[in-house]
Amino acid sequence: MGDVEDLRRYGADYVVKKNMIRICCSLPLIIIFIVLFNIFHIPPLFQLKRLYIPALDKSSNTSTNATITFHFSLENLEQYSKIYYDPINITFYDSPNKNNSIANFILPDFFEREHTEVDYSGTVNATGLDLETAKREIANNGFKVFHVALATSVRYDFYGFWKTGRSGYSRSVDVKIGDTGDASLGIGILAWVIAILVGLMILFVVIVIFIFLFIIFLRCMYVILDRVRL
């Protein structure tokens, strides 16, 4: 309706110029959107759900079985982006200060669909674990603290059209193991709150930037159209 009225008032040449100005002014917004998409992403949510060391379980007959059974998950909180993981390196330490690595596991690269959760379970040989020292510490303190660290790089995509550059991703957690050799874990309420707040903050920043740019876009277009009309 606006173009028809402008055509009647100012002629076809003005309407063509106006539409060309709209296209030219929209290009920076598209470019900025692509840049923002490559900058602002919600990182995946890591949960270590279980850690079991049979050799520390006093009720089992595997007192010399120096293995670690683990179960963790990675949740993609993005609504429109797949996450592409490089090989994931998981390292187990016998203390929070990470002085002594007792086991290492590498998960091959994979991708995760939008708003999904990937679970993985495995067993690894804990060749670096001093069982006698660990058992004494549990006997004295009631538990021993282990440390689990995850490290990889991730990329995000948008409906399969393009992928972002790689960005580092690492998470770690301290785990208390008692004389059952087991620690059933899960993500706490605080971690969920932090993840939600991060997502809302990113969404708020993107919306504010777009509103600001859209206002500038409208202002520039009106100024240019006024000059063209004259």
Q: Residue 225: which domain range?
A: 2-38+205-229
Average confidence score pLDDT of the chain:
79
Tell whether the model's pLDDT for residue 25 goes beyond 80. Answer: no
Q: Are 15 and 76 in the same domain?
A: no
Q: Do 98 and 131 fall into the same domain?
A: yes
Whether residues 109 and 222 fall in one domain: no
Q: Please report the pLDDT score of residue 196 as a whole number.
A: 66
- Identify the residue with better confidence: 154 or 185: 154
Considering the domain boundaries, does residue 183 fall inside one?
yes
Amino acid at 89: N
Contact 87, 105 (CB under 8 A): no
81: exposed, middle or buried (Cβ count in 10 Å: 0-12, 13-18, 19+) = buried
Mean pLDDT, residues 135-143 taken together: 92
Q: Are residues 180 and 125 in the same domain?
A: yes
* Mean pLDDT, residues 167-181: 91
Residue 82 domain flag: yes
